[in-house]
Chain A
């Protein structure tokens, strides 16, 4: 999503997606056009700074934080977000964000840090059904993050590295803890990092594909969330689901963008924001 200078005179709306690992904020104008956006870390030491991500996004949009007419919060941290006017689930926000860029798509696969989801939409972009991974970390970004650390490679490069594999090393364990042990064993046996990465993507992609198949949707799928940045994983999903898989221009921001669009829609329906926003820290589930 391109950032561009603010448009004075227009009415800005904000969306903030406070995920388990990253906080994403998007500011749009009253035509739905993005004015500014930012991705910042959520992590334990950063979560109280979520509002600063919003402020910084506003600054990039060329406006002050107090100028934002209406803010919708989504993601795991949405529930106690003191500067938001409304909270909306990430499922609805992702659906809205994807609908804007891919109006005909019926299936969204969101691969976040803490969970992965499949979302089935109807022709109007409304949610028909959804599936989520259970509380196990397998099938989530966190799984890949831990294994990337074990392999000593940057998470952002994992997908590309896997494409260089000459063969796929089978990783049997989907439990993150056991998979980490298995990866160490494979390394000790002499397996290459690229081949292990390919095996990990096969395992995680297979798990997500099996989950998403429950929705019984044919046609193009759109992958969002941090996982969509992983070309290796996207390729595996495309092959296992036997469908065309598309990735938004900035898949990290889909949820926040959808939240901003919903903020605009709510405002236009007559809802009004807080008289005085509390630019305070966000509290999370324990």
Chain B
């Protein structure tokens, strides 16, 4: 019930390896500028589109536009891009990642150069834009809208997942065939743009690197089951850069290998994020508040540590049958298995795969409370959050809370409101722990 004034604390022990991420982020945009200067192809690129390894195998340098929006927010330099997009007619209710990207493109076009002091040197003009329907519809339409500012081709693929009620044995072949066709369409487009054929051996190589990076990332998260938790959520929201923006490269594998060793040694030494871990929290979903990541320190000042997250590493490793010999089919299989890995369990229990994942995390990680983040401009991760929270409440009585703001638009955030809510949430955690 006590209230603390402290918002930041130096007592939080992040990992040293995660500290390398800042340079990896800078390198994303620096590499893109260098590639442009050398005449290599660069592409606007969407996170978690399942096509990462294809792009890497074609030696195309990706520019992750959503990451750039998050970067602008973390540096609190997003307003000029948001306002520019709104000036161009994009509503404030549209995806704020897209608004930052479109606003940036608009300004760059008007100025004929990168906007002054743009974070990390800004995004160069791409040679192509690769959208996808994975996760949400703005990702399918964003790059089409960007055609207003950029005279480069765009290609969006459909990324599909069956509904939870579907009989997987019945629909599996159809979904995998369709997904394979989507990937082959993208490959044909990339071959046309780059003027070279996809090397299948090279694709297998990037797939192996991608799988290994994601396996290591999973293993790192499993280490966080330990009490006290060895790695803070602030690190999770940093290290996802390797898994998503370096997927299919040795860089990601090396990074996670090093991080795994560090986290493992922290577990062995019993070293936690904060000296006294009173409450273990689950970040239940929603994109993170990139504009105010220090809010996690505020939780920690009450002894509450987020030990696992249901965002950015949305699926665990899967095993594609060994008879799949074609790398493109492998990617389609892998996507299908990732998206359906909790369908069967959901059908038998809550009916909702996300609820199943959360229940599993609550159990495995000894969770005391769940926090969701509703983002006003992200329908995909926000719509259904209350339903998930209510469903979850049928299986657990731990306190849950939904904070509301946006992933990057600071205008949707209220510090006083959040602190009041967090205070109440800590009260509820404390009351439950004394019961």
Looking at the assembled complex, report how far the CB atom of B413 sits from the nearest CB atom of chain A, in whole angstroms.
8
Interface residue from B400, B404, B413, B420 paired with A115 (Cβ < 8 Å) = B420
**Contact A135:B404 (CB < 8 A) given known A76-B420, A127-B424:** yes
Question: Which B418-435 residues sit within 8 Å CB-CB of chain A?
Answer: 419-421, 423-428, 431-432, 434-435
Interface residue from B3, B417, B421, B434 paired with A88 (Cβ < 8 Å) = B3
Are B390 and A214 touching (Cβ within 8 A)?
A: yes
Looking at the assembled complex, report how far the CB atom of A131 sits from the nearest CB atom of chain B, in whole angstroms.
8
A127 to B424, CA, bound (A): 9
Are B431 and A128 touching (Cβ within 8 A)?
A: yes
Interface residue from B390, B397, B416 paired with A285 (Cβ < 8 Å) = B416
Q: Does A23 contact B (CB under 8 A)?
A: no
Looking at the assembled complex, report how far the CB atom of B39 sits from the nearest CB atom of chain A, in whole angstroms.
49
Looking at the assembled complex, report how far the CB atom of B405 sits from the nearest CB atom of chain A, in whole angstroms.
8
A133 to B390, CA, bound (A): 17
Q: Does B386 contact A (CB under 8 A)?
A: yes
Interface residue from B413, B417, B431 paired with A127 (Cβ < 8 Å) = B431
User: Which residues in B have their C-beta under 8 angstroms from that of A100?
Assistant: none
Question: Which B1-25 residues sit within 8 Å CB-CB of chain A?
Answer: 1-3, 5
Q: Does A223 contact B (CB under 8 A)?
A: no
User: Which residues in A have their C-beta under 8 angstroms from that of B427?
Assistant: 89, 91-92, 127
**Number of residues from B at the complex interface, CB < 8 A:** 29
| CB nearest to B423 among chain A residues | A89
Are B428 and A128 touching (Cβ within 8 A)?
A: yes
Q: Does B414 contact A (CB under 8 A)?
A: yes
**Contact A88:B1 (CB < 8 A) given known A129-B399, A129-B428:** yes
User: Which residues in B have their C-beta under 8 angstroms from that of A130?
Assistant: 424-425, 428
A12 to B371, CA, bound (A): 39
Looking at the assembled complex, report how far the CB atom of A237 sits from the nearest CB atom of chain B, in whole angstroms.
20
Q: Does B319 contact A (CB under 8 A)?
A: no
Are B2 and A88 touching (Cβ within 8 A)?
A: yes
Looking at the assembled complex, report how far the CB atom of B207 sits from the nearest CB atom of chain A, in whole angstroms.
43
| CB nearest to A262 among chain B residues | B1
**Contact A90:B404 (CB < 8 A) given known A80-B5, A126-B431, A129-B399:** no
A33 to B427, CA, bound (A): 25
Q: Does B415 contact A (CB under 8 A)?
A: yes
Interface residue from A79, A115, A117, A285 paired with B3 (Cβ < 8 Å) = A79
User: Which residues in A have their C-beta under 8 angstroms from that of B416?
Assistant: 76, 114, 285
Are A78 and B3 touching (Cβ within 8 A)?
A: yes
| CB nearest to B424 among chain A residues | A91
User: Which residues in A have their C-beta under 8 angstroms from that of B5?
Assistant: 79-80
Are B434 and A89 touching (Cβ within 8 A)?
A: no
Question: Which B400-415 residues sit within 8 Å CB-CB of chain A?
Answer: 400, 404, 412-415
User: Which residues in B have their C-beta under 8 angstroms from that of A189?
Assistant: none
Question: Which A77-121 residues sit within 8 Å CB-CB of chain B?
Answer: 78-80, 86-92, 114-115, 117, 119
Are A128 and B420 touching (Cβ within 8 A)?
A: no
Question: Which A12-48 residues sit within 8 Å CB-CB of chain B?
Answer: none
Q: Does A155 contact B (CB under 8 A)?
A: no
User: Which residues in B have their C-beta under 8 angstroms from that of A79?
Assistant: 3, 5, 419
Are B3 and A87 touching (Cβ within 8 A)?
A: yes
A285 to B419, CA, bound (A): 10
A214 to B415, CA, bound (A): 24
Give the interface centre of A114, A117, A126 by most chain B CB atoms within 10 Å. A126
A90 to B419, CA, bound (A): 11
Are A132 and B417 touching (Cβ within 8 A)?
A: yes
Are A115 and B417 touching (Cβ within 8 A)?
A: yes
A270 to B260, CA, bound (A): 46
Interface residue from B399, B423, B435 paired with A122 (Cβ < 8 Å) = B435
Interface residue from B1, B397, B399, B420 paired with A132 (Cβ < 8 Å) = B420
Looking at the assembled complex, report how far the CB atom of A114 sits from the nearest CB atom of chain B, in whole angstroms.
8
Q: Residues 275-303 of chain B: 1 if any A CB is under 8 Å from the residue's CB, otherwise 0?
A: 00000000000000000000000000000
Q: Does A276 contact B (CB under 8 A)?
A: no
**Contact A90:B420 (CB < 8 A) given known A126-B435, A128-B431:** yes
| CB nearest to A91 among chain B residues | B424
User: Which residues in A have their C-beta under 8 angstroms from that of B424?
Assistant: 89, 91-92, 117, 119, 127, 130, 132
Are A285 and B415 touching (Cβ within 8 A)?
A: yes
Interface residue from A117, A119, A214 paired with B386 (Cβ < 8 Å) = A214
User: Which residues in A have their C-beta under 8 angstroms from that of B399?
Assistant: 128-129
Are B404 and A127 touching (Cβ within 8 A)?
A: no
Are A134 and B3 touching (Cβ within 8 A)?
A: no
A86 to B420, CA, bound (A): 16
User: Which residues in A have their C-beta under 8 angstroms from that of B413?
Assistant: 135
User: Which residues in A have their C-beta under 8 angstroms from that of B2?
Assistant: 86-88
Looking at the assembled complex, report how far the CB atom of A214 sits from the nearest CB atom of chain B, in whole angstroms.
7
**Contact A134:B404 (CB < 8 A) given known A80-B5, A285-B419:** yes
Are B428 and A134 touching (Cβ within 8 A)?
A: no
| CB nearest to A132 among chain B residues | B421
A130 to B427, CA, bound (A): 10
| CB nearest to B417 among chain A residues | A135
Looking at the assembled complex, report how far the CB atom of A67 sits from the nearest CB atom of chain B, in whole angstroms.
25
A207 to B3, CA, bound (A): 29
Looking at the assembled complex, report how far the CB atom of B281 sits from the nearest CB atom of chain A, in whole angstroms.
15
Looking at the assembled complex, report how far the CB atom of B362 sits from the nearest CB atom of chain A, in whole angstroms.
16
Are A91 and B423 touching (Cβ within 8 A)?
A: yes
A87 to B206, CA, bound (A): 55
Are B3 and A89 touching (Cβ within 8 A)?
A: yes
User: Which residues in A have their C-beta under 8 angstroms from that of B423?
Assistant: 89, 91
Give the interface centre of B417, B420, B426 by most chain A CB atoms within 10 Å. B420
Looking at the assembled complex, report how far the CB atom of B16 sits from the nearest CB atom of chain A, in whole angstroms.
33
User: Which residues in B have their C-beta under 8 angstroms from that of A122?
Assistant: 431, 435
A133 to B3, CA, bound (A): 20
Are A127 and B421 touching (Cβ within 8 A)?
A: no
User: Which residues in B have their C-beta under 8 angstroms from that of A88?
Assistant: 1-3
4 shortest A-B CB distances, which residue pairs? A89-B423, A135-B414, A126-B431, A87-B3
Q: Given A129-B428, A132-B420, list of 10 further CB < 8 A pairs?
A: A79-B419, A89-B420, A89-B424, A91-B423, A91-B427, A122-B431, A126-B435, A132-B421, A135-B413, A285-B419
Chain A residues within 8 Å of B, Cβ to Cβ: 76, 78-80, 86-92, 114-115, 117, 119, 122, 126-130, 132, 134-135, 214, 262, 285
